[in-house]
Each structure stands twice: as structure tokens, then as C-alpha cells.
């Protein structure tokens, strides 16, 4: 049930200083970053040792991303209910164990299962760390979420070289086992410093300052549950925007290689400061650095000018950077520079959207609520391969996408369209049945994404028109501009969600012998 947040301004707890808690969250994110960004280092030796084709090895990473993304809502619910410390300790243990077992895996099945454990653990750590930043920093929500997300985006930069060196000298098994233990232990230790803020807690300086009043006016005073959040148009608009920007950004990144090859700049050395690298390698390296730096930067900006205005600027910058990149990609240095600007306008979605989610839907259920919004990343990753098929003009199997869309639309109908737009009262059994069908369709779609050879009752393979990398970049620009327009002209004009949006019509209640009086229950007001 949505409840109004208390306005108590209790002092910051000691010894659990909130900046120490934020530091621990960032450290835990750095420790699990390699589970995603370091994966590519292990693919060649795994392929050789297991004697399997690369696509089958890469299914491991798909499983990791799906579990790291799609289970975050449930994991977030557990964190909101039981607190962050034990859950993050468990997440660190699972993630570390996943890498240890990956080093011992002698079959694809064992590798899939072990990396699934890593994905499960990394998802717990990621969701908890972002949720903690949103809860502890209502006054610097964008900056705190950005710093935390930067730990995951750029955290692997510190350990990529040591891991690569160990793989080349001691073998990938030793690297998996040793670094799995180290990284898991770091998360467990960092978890000891995590704690949820007390009910009604507020930063003292923010509560008293004039700037605090201005910031607070942009934030709601209601704590929405995830179900209540899903019944608001603001959530679904945010979900659409995050999916658009994530899809466009991932598509653009995937086309950097063919673009560089077409312009023959991929192997041209580029010198910047004291670093000299081939242009394509330089551009991809810039992704990790700039993608990490942009998250706290745009988060800080949003704390001062507002989330929606910042989204408009960032999404517009990415669209402009892509357009300029297309024009000047034949120049190696400009190829690196404008690809970096493209990344700078993309990674901020992982700081702006959790901050905005906390603004609109409150702190109490922030971890679970952002967990649902974070699945937009998983949705985007499912549709990104279509961009590669369009670029090459190849046949594409749409079965998984059709099932995922059907399941998503059905879930949206049950949770949002029926109760809030169409004003339909679905019975509990009907609602449960429809949600079960939606879940089955989504699960089937995910299975088909991971294992395309699984049987399905229909075929949906079509040859797509060849639009090349330029066409895919055009799609990315369109997605960015649509999201920017939605942020400025639609989301910015929407009011902060309130309990009034959750009005639920109820059948008339009898009074006395002969009459009825209409009655409505409003969330947050009791029955």
C-alpha cells in the first residue's frame, strides 16, 4: 500500500555515516564489474579447452545478463524487506562461487550453471547498491546513483590487465578461481558496512537548507509499492524511454567495428597524451572510461537542473554525437573523439533513471522499484541483435521477440491498462491466470533467446533489408531524439504520482435495509 513518507528529520546515524555506506556500495560494484566486462577475456581459452564453437560459449554470457537483469525486481523486494547486509553478502558469495566453479567446469552445462550463479549474485549486488544510493541521498540522488553505477561501468578498468596476465601465464582456470575468491571476499567485506536508513530519516543539512526545499518540491511524498508503481503512466513512460536509449546505444556500439573497417581507420594508430592505440581499440577503451565518468556527471547535473531537462540534454548530445561521428569517422582521431561523446551521452541512463524512480515513487521500496525499471536493459539486449541483422541484411528469427512482446503486452494490460485506463475490474483468479500466461510467454521467449534450437509451435524467420551501419546509426539517433522529446514535453509536464492516481472503484456497499451508497477505496487512506 502506498503511504506518505514521514517528514521526520532524524540525525544521520553513527557510526554508519552515509558517505561510508556509499563508498562500500561503490566498492561492491567494482568487485562484480568483471563478471560482465571481463568475460571477453575468457572466451578464447574456454573455447579451446571445452572444444566448443564460440556461439555456444557466448550463450554463457547471455545467461549471465538475463539473470543479472531480470531477477533484480525479486532480489530488490528481498532487500527492501530484510535489509541490504545479508543479501549483499549472499550475492558476493554466489558471484565468487560462480567464477570458482567456472574455473572447474569441464562441460558447457557446468559452465552455464556456474555463470548463472555469478549472474544471480551480481544482480543482488547491483540492485542493492543502486537502491542504497537512492535511499540514503535524497539531496544528491543523481550524483550518488551515478557514482555507484560508475563503479560497475568503469570498475573493471583496474583489474583487466592483472586478469589478462594471469590467463596468459597461469591459465584461465586459475584466473577464474583466484579472482572469484578475491572479488567475492571484497563484496562480503563491503557488505558489512551497508545499512538501510531508518524510517523517516532525512539528511539534516538538506532538511534545513533553502536548496533542500527546491529539490524536495521535485520529489513525491509517497512510497509506492512495485505493483502500485506499475499502475502509473509515469513508470511505463520511463520504461519506454530507458528501453529506447539502451537499445539505440547498444546498437550503435555494435556497429563501431564495421564503421571503422569501412573507413579503414580501425588499425590506424591514434596518439592522445601518452597513449597510442589503434583507433578502434582506442574507441572501445574510451567506452569504459567515459561510460563510467558520465554517470556521476549527469547525475550531479540532474540534482541541480532536474532529471527531465538533463535527460533531454544527454539524449540530444548522444544523437548529435552520432550524426557528427558519421560525418567525420574517416579521420582516426575524430573517430575516437566523437565515439567517446556518443558513450558520454548514453551511460547516464544508469544514474538518471534510478534517481527519477526514487523521486517519483519514494525511498521505502526503491530497490525493488528500480529493479523493475532496470529490466529495460534486458528488454533492450533482446532486441539489439535485430540491429545487427538489419546492418547485414540477414535472416532473423523473430520467435523469441514475438513471445516476449506478447508476454509484456499481456502483463501491461493486467497491471496497467485494465485498472487505470480501461477501468476494468479483473477478478483475482483472472488476474493470476493472465499473469501466469504472460510469465510463461516471457520465460519461453527467454529460453528461445538463449537456445534458439528449442522447438516452438510457429516459425517466424524473415530476411531483413540491408541498411548497413549507417542505417543502424540512424535508428539509434531516432530513438535518442524520441526519448529526448518524451522527457522534455511529456514526462516533465507529468505531475509527481500521488495516491489519488491509485483510486480503485469498488462495488456499492449496502446500508440499512433498502439502500446502497457508492464507495471507493483509495490507496493510502485505508478501507
Instruction: Domain count for the chain, please give it.
Output: 1
Has residue 152 been placed in a domain? yes
Quick check: 434 and 426 in contact, CB under 8 A? yes
Per-residue pLDDT band at 352 (split at 50, 70, 90) = very high
- State the pLDDT at residue 514: 44
**169 in a structural domain:** yes
Given a contact cutoff of 8 angstroms between Cβ atoms, the answer to whether 352 and 141 are in contact is no
pLDDT of amino acid 218? 65
Return the minimum-mean-pLDDT range out of 107-111, 226-230, 440-444.
226-230
Q: Flag whether pLDDT at 496 surpasses 70.
A: yes
Whether the predicted pLDDT of 508 surpasses 50? no
Q: Is residue 158 part of a domain?
A: yes
DSSP 153-216: HHGGGGTHHHHHHHHHHH-HHHHHHHHHHHHHHHHHHHHTT--PPPTT---HHHHHSHHHHHHH
CATH code of the domain covering residue 158 = 1.20.1250.20
φ/ψ of residue 40, rounded to 5: -60, -25
Classify residue 55: in a domain, yes or no: yes
Domain encompassing residue 83: 13-217
- pLDDT by residue (tens digit) across 277-322? 899 888 888 877 898 899 999 999 999 899 999 999 999 999 999 9
Other CB atoms within 10 A of residue 422 CB: 11
3-state secondary structure of 394: coil
24, pLDDT greater than 70 = yes
Measured distance CA(406)–CA(398) in Å, rounded = 12
Q: Assess if residue 456 is contained within a domain.
A: no
pLDDT at site 214:
45
Burial class (CB in 10 A: 0-12, 13-18, 19+), 511: exposed
Q: What is the pLDDT of residue 524?
A: 37
Position 502 in a domain: no
Q: Is the pLDDT of residue 348 over 80?
A: yes
Task: Tell me the pLDDT of the chain averaged across its residues.
Answer: 85
Average pLDDT on 125-149 reads: 94
Residue 221 burial (CB count, 10 A): 14
Give residue for cell 582506442: 282
- The rounded distance, in Å, linking the Cα atoms of 522 and 160 is 53
pLDDT attached to residue 198? 86
**Rounded Cα–Cα distance for residues 133 and 148 (Å):** 7
Note whether residue 150 is domain-resident.
yes
Q: What is the pLDDT of residue 99?
A: 97
Query: What pLDDT digit, counting tens, does each position of 195-218 carry?
Result: 999 877 776 655 555 454 545 666
Least confident of 87-96, 135-144, 249-258, 344-353: 249-258
Amino acid at each position: 500500500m502506498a503511504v506518505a513518507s514521514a517528514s521526520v528529520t532524524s540525525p544521520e546515524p553513527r557510526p554508519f555515516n552515509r558517505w561510508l555506506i556509499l563508498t562500500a556500495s561503490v566498492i561492491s560494484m567494482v568487485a562484480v564489474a568483471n563478471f560482465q566486462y571481463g568475460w571477453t577475456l575468457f572466451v578464447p581459452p574456454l573455447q579451446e579447452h571445452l572444444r566448443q564453437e564460440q556461439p555456444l560459449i557466448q550463450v554463457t554470457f547471455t545467461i549471465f545478463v538475463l539473470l543479472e537483469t531480470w531477477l533484480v525486481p525479486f532480489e530488490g523486494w528481498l532487500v527492501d524487506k530484510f535489509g541490504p547486509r545479508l543479501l549483499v553478502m549472499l550475492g558476493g558469495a554466489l558471484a565468487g562461487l560462480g567464477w570458482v566453479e567456472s574455473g572447474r567446469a569441464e562441460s558447457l552445462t557446468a559452465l552455464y550453471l556456474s555463470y548463472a550463479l555469478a549472474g544471480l549474485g551480481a544482480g543482488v549486488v547491483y540492485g542493492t547498491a543502486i537502491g542504497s544510493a537512492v535511499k540514503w541521498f535524497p539531496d544528491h540522488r543523481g550524483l550518488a546513483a551515478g557514482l555507484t553505477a560508475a563503479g560497475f561501468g568503469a570498475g573493471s578498468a583496474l583489474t583487466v590487465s592483472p586478469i589478462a596476465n594471469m590467463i596468459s601465464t597461469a591459465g584461465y582456470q586459475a584466473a577464474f578461481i583466484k579472482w572469484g575468491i578475491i572479488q567475492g571476499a571484497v563484496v562480503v567485506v563491503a557488505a558489512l558496512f551497508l545499512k538501510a536508513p531508518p524510517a523517516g530519516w532525512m539528511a539534516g543539512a538538506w532538511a534545513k537548507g533553502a536548496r533542500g526545499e527546491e529539490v524536495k518540491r521535485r520529489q513525491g511524498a509517497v512510497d509506492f509499492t512495485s505493483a502500485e508503481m506499475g499502475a502509473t503512466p509515469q513508470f511505463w513512460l520511463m520504461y519506454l524511454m530507458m528501453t529506447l536509449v539502451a537499445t539505440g546505444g547498444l546498437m550503435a556500439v555494435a556497429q563501431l567495428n564495421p564503421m571503422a573497417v569501412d573507413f579503414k581507420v580501425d588499425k590506424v594508430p591514434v596518439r592522445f597524451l601518452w597513449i597510442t592505440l589503434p583507433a578502434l581499440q582506442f574507441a572501445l577503451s574510451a567506452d569504459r572510461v567515459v561510460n563510467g565518468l558520465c554517470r556521476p556527471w549527469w547525475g550531479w547535473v540532474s540534482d541541480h537542473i532536474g532529471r527531465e531537462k538533463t535527460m533531454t540534454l544527454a539524449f540530444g548530445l548522444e544523437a548529435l554525437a552520432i550524426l557528427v561521428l558519421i560525418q567525420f569517422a574517416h579521420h582516426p582521431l575524430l573517430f575516437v573523439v566523437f565515439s567517446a561523446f556518443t558513450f558520454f551521452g548514453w551511460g547516464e541512463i544508469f544514474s538518471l533513471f534510478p534517481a527519477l524512480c526514487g523521486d517519483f515513487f519514494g525511498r521505502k521500496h526503491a530497490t525493488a522499484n528500480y529493479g523493475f525499471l532496470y529490466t529495460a536493459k534486458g528488454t533492450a539486449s533482446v532486441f539489439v541483435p535485430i540491429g545487427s541483422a538489419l546492418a547485414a541484411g540477414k535472416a532473423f528469427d523473430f520467435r523469441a521477440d514475438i513471445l516476449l512482446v506478447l508476454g509484456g503486452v499481456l502483463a501491461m494490460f493486467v497491471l496497467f491498462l485494465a485498472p487505470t485506463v480501461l477501468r476494468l475490474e479483473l477478478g483475482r483468479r483472472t488476474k493470476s491466470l493472465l499473469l501466469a500466461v504472460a510469465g510463461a510467454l516471457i520465460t519461453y521467449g527467454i529460453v528461445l533467446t538463449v537456445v534458439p534450437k528449442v522447438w516452438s509451435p510457429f516459425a517466424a524467420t524473415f530476411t531483413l533489408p540491408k541498411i548497413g551501419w549507417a542505417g543502424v546509426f540512424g535508428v539509434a539517433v531516432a530513438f535518442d531524439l524520441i526519448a529526448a522529446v518524451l522527457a522534455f514535453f511529456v514526462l516533465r509536464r507529468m505531475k509527481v504520482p500521488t495516491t489519488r492516481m491509485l483510486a480503485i472503484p469498488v462495488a456499492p456497499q449496502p446500508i440499512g435495509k433498502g439502500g446502497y451508497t457508492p464507495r471507493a477505496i483509495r490507496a493510502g487512506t485505508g478501507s
